[in-house]
Amino acid sequence: MKALLRWLALILAAVLGLQLFFVGRIALMSVVDPKSTTFERSEAWRIRQEKGSLRWRQQWVAYDDIPDHLKRAVIASEDDSFAWHEGVDWDALEKAWEKNAEAEARAAKLATNGSKAVKPPKIVGGSTITQQLAKNLLLSGERTLVRKGQELVLAHLLERLLSKRRILELYLNHVEWGEGVFGAEAAAQHYYRKPAARLTAGESARLAVMLPRPKHYEKLPNSPYLAERASVIAARLWRAELP
């Protein structure tokens, strides 16, 4: 019994130590611009292993040098309650959970009926910008309940230790916009051969729509869905509230 209690104490101490480490890292980000994220480093390693060379584009741009229409487009497309939620949009998570459960049930039913062309269910995300930033900055890309739980804790810490403006600045400078393409400046140069500061509202909306599946849309720049969805987001820019 004493051995079990010692192991439990060690596990709790390790978990607490990890959380304190995260607190320190996030607090430091209030004044220091991170050069890279955990996700970026893992992607760089993957690309190097698969292709034998390092393809990497990322350049920091200050918040005031990122056009407001890009900020608004990303908020409108990814997290329209960003300005007032506390890190997690529980309603969005619940809806995503229900949609995913329904999609998995339909796929299972088709498979049971002997259908040979059953597509994997499309997984819908309900993560906020803060949650996405937490995952990209400090966590791995694996899909487990433990990782998701840690993501929620980190989202809470980000909201408590950083301003909304800083969270959005970090997100826009490190979010993935293609294979080896990270941040608004790299995306603007990669897709439009111009600095992020000169992006138009239409270009900003198109970039925002790419975010859930950037590698997919990088290969399909003329996707009808991309064009249609971008026009919808462009029309909603004025409604997106900036921090």
- In tens, the pLDDT along 182-193 reads 999 999 999 999
- Write the CATH number for 141: 1.10.3810.10
Lowest-pLDDT range, 115-124, 132-141, 177-186? 115-124
The answer to whether residue 98 is domain-embedded is no
The answer to whether residue 173 is domain-embedded is yes
> Is-contact 157 26, C-beta < 8 A?
yes
Full residue range of the structural domain in which residue 168 is found: 2-89+126-239
Reference 209, options 179, 233, 193, 185; nearest CA is 233
The answer to whether residue 205 is domain-embedded is yes
The answer to whether residue 76 is domain-embedded is yes
Q: pLDDT at residue 99 above 90?
A: no
The answer to whether residue 177 is domain-embedded is yes
Joined tokens for residue 35:
């050069």
| Average pLDDT for 32-47 | 91
Lowest-pLDDT range, 101-110, 177-186, 232-241? 101-110
The answer to whether residue 197 is domain-embedded is yes
* CA 121 to the chain's CA centroid: 20
The CB density around residue 232, as the number of other CB atoms within 10 Å, is 12
* Alpha carbons 132 and 153: distance in angstroms, whole number: 12
80 CB burial (10 A radius; 0-12, 13-18, 19+):
middle
- pTM listed for this prediction: 0.85
pLDDT for res 2: 73
* Alpha carbons 96 and 199: distance in angstroms, whole number: 31
What is the number of structural domains in the chain? 1
Q: Residues 35, 172, 191, CA angle at the centre, nearest 5°?
A: 100
Give the Å distances, CA to CA, from 11 to 4, 22, 62, 83: 11, 17, 40, 36
Joined tokens for residue 61:
């741009």
* Alpha carbons 105 and 98: distance in angstroms, whole number: 11
> Is-contact 214 206, C-beta < 8 A?
no
The band of 121, judged by pLDDT with boundaries at 50, 70 and 90, is: very low
The CB density around residue 196, as the number of other CB atoms within 10 Å, is 24
pLDDT for res 123: 47
The CB density around residue 49, as the number of other CB atoms within 10 Å, is 8
Q: Residues 143, 148, 151, CA angle at the centre, nearest 5°?
A: 125
